[in-house]
Amino acid sequence: MTDAESVPDRTARVVLVDDHRMFRTGVRAEIGRTEVTGIDVVGEADDVESAVRVVAETRPDVVLLDVHLPGGGGVEVLRRSTAVMGEPGGVKFLALSVSDAADDVIGVIRGGARGYVTKTITGADLVGAIFRIADGDAVFSPRLAGFVLDAFAATDTPPVDEDLDRLTQREREVLRLIARGYAYKEIAKQLFISVKTVESHVSAVLRKLQLSNRHELTRWATARRLV
């Protein structure tokens, strides 16, 4: 993928949080060449304590956050970083995980992460995702899109709450294409809309997921014995 975002006409400051040194080194090697990718890795952390500290000190644009961490996991990092997340232009979190368990995924998204990608992602895609997150958009991996569809599918029948709770037809379509493995650009092509529109659909989904669908998600999680 050679998105316009991956051309280094701008830079993003990134912190890597992962308890595996090898993985951090690999990611840094893959995306850390600032002159090519525009990514500047300003810090690393390997557990919750150090992650919270490093993030507070460096105030990066984006934190690549592993879901499983010693000391409480990615959710705990998110919980203790609300101060730096809240303000406009604040730190944004992108979950990067091997885990494809629904509770992990939904947990970090509910915790405030702006996106979720799995570790099978390519370097170029990851760079693109980081810039999207830095711009305030949301990035979903196919699996996360699947989880969200699944979660909202249960709410299809009864119109429970206000419209805010339900995904629009278009958002559903976009999620379905993400789940089928389409990149944002391909989705735009397929649906004859702009990439910006795709991004705004995805952001809308994230907003609904975080804010308004609380009880549906709880019900969904309970049904699957996740909580």
Partner 1 sequence: MASPDPVTSTGADGPAGGDTAAEQPDRPPFRKLYRSPHSRMLGGVAHGLAVHLGLPVTWVRAAFVLLFFANGIGVLLYAAFWFVVPIGIGEPALGSEWVWAGGQFVPAGASGVTPEPLRKGRRGRLGRLRDLLQGTFQGEPVIAEQAVPGEPPAAASRRNAGQLAALLMLVVGVMWLLNALHLQSSQPYAWPLLAIGVGVALVWRQADDSRWARWFGLTGGRRRSAVARVGAGVLLVAAGIVGFLILQGTGSAVGSVVEASLAVLAGVLVLTGPYALRMWQDLGAERTARIRAQERAEIAAHIHDSVLHTLTLIQRRAEDPKEVQRLARAQERELRLWLYRPEAAAEAAPDTLAERIREVVAEVEDRHGVPIELVCVGDCPMDERIAAQMQAAREAMVNAAKYGGGAPVQVYAEVEGRTVLVFVRDHGPGFDPDTVPEDRMGVRESIIGRMKRHGGTARVRPAPDGGTEVELEMERAADD
Contact residues: partner 1, CB under 8 A: 118, 120, 142-143, 145-146, 149-150, 153, 176, 179-183, 185-186, 189-190
Q: Which of 79, 84, 83, 36 is nearest to 60 (CA)?
A: 84
Q: How far is the CB of 176 from partner 1 (least distance, A)?
A: 7
Q: Which of 157, 138, 140, 154 is nearest to 196 (CA)?
A: 138
Q: How far is the CB of 211 from partner 1 (least distance, A)?
A: 22
Burial of 35 (0-12, 13-18, 19+ CB in 10 A): exposed
CB 46 within 8 A of CB 18: yes
Identify residue 182 by its one-letter amino acid code. Y
Q: How far is CA 161 from the centre of its chain?
A: 26
Q: How far is the CB of 51 from partner 1 (least distance, A)?
A: 27
Looking at the Cβ atoms of 78 and 144, the one nearer to partner 1 is 144
Q: How far is the CB of 183 from partner 1 (least distance, A)?
A: 7
Looking at the Cβ atoms of 2 and 9, the one nearer to partner 1 is 2
Helix (H, G, I), strand (E, B) or coil at 94: strand
What are the structure tokens assigned to 37, written together? Answer: 């990718």
Looking at the Cβ atoms of 85 and 183, the one nearer to partner 1 is 183
Q: How far is the CB of 190 from partner 1 (least distance, A)?
A: 6
The single-letter DSSP state of residue 4 is G
Looking at the Cβ atoms of 57 and 150, the one nearer to partner 1 is 150
Looking at the Cβ atoms of 170 and 176, the one nearer to partner 1 is 176
